[in-house]
Amino acid sequence: MLIVRVHSNCLSGSIPAGLWTSSNLTILMLSDNLFTGQLPRTLGPSLRRLDISNNKFSGELPPGLSSLKHLIVFSASNNFFSGTIVFFYWAVAHPLWEHHFQVQGVTTWYQSVPGSNTLGTWEVISITMGSSRLIET
């Protein structure tokens, strides 16, 4: 188990690729700094908590987020992301978990969440996206 907590330190620059993809990384808290760059396409498979809020990350949220089976907290608000929020397929497989997501500044939302009536408890803290909306199918 690897826990990295460097939140609220006014740190800047990019995050080394090896940290993002470490197979032992379970908690990565980088919030409230000045980090820049894009998130890698894949992230460490053991991540349970990922807080990258209040930085200067940019680009699209990586599709690899959807394959993180253990992720229960994801916070990415107040960055410069664009594109579509990926669908978290594992949430359907684990409907009893309580999931916390916070994303702000993403321009489009994944329009349809399959099986949304079996998702359990989802707490969406903040999503700011103009005219986009979540549609239950």
Express as a percent the part of the chain with pLDDT over 70.
Answer: 61
Domains by residue range for the chain, with CATH: 2-128 (3.80.10.10)
Q: Which amino acid is at 86?
A: V
What pairing do the DSSP bridges indicate for beta strands 49-51 and 34-38? Answer: unpaired
Q: Measured between alpha carbons, how far apart are the two ends of the chain, in Å? A: 38
CA dist., res. 49 & res. 98, Å (int): 13
- What is the three-class DSSP state of 131? coil
Q: Provide Rg for the chain, Cα atoms.
A: 14
Q: Give the tens place of pLDDT for each residue, 79-121.
A: 888 776 665 555 555 554 444 555 554 444 443 344 444 444 4
CA dist., res. 107 & res. 109, Å (int): 7
Report, as an integer, the average pLDDT of 4-32: 95
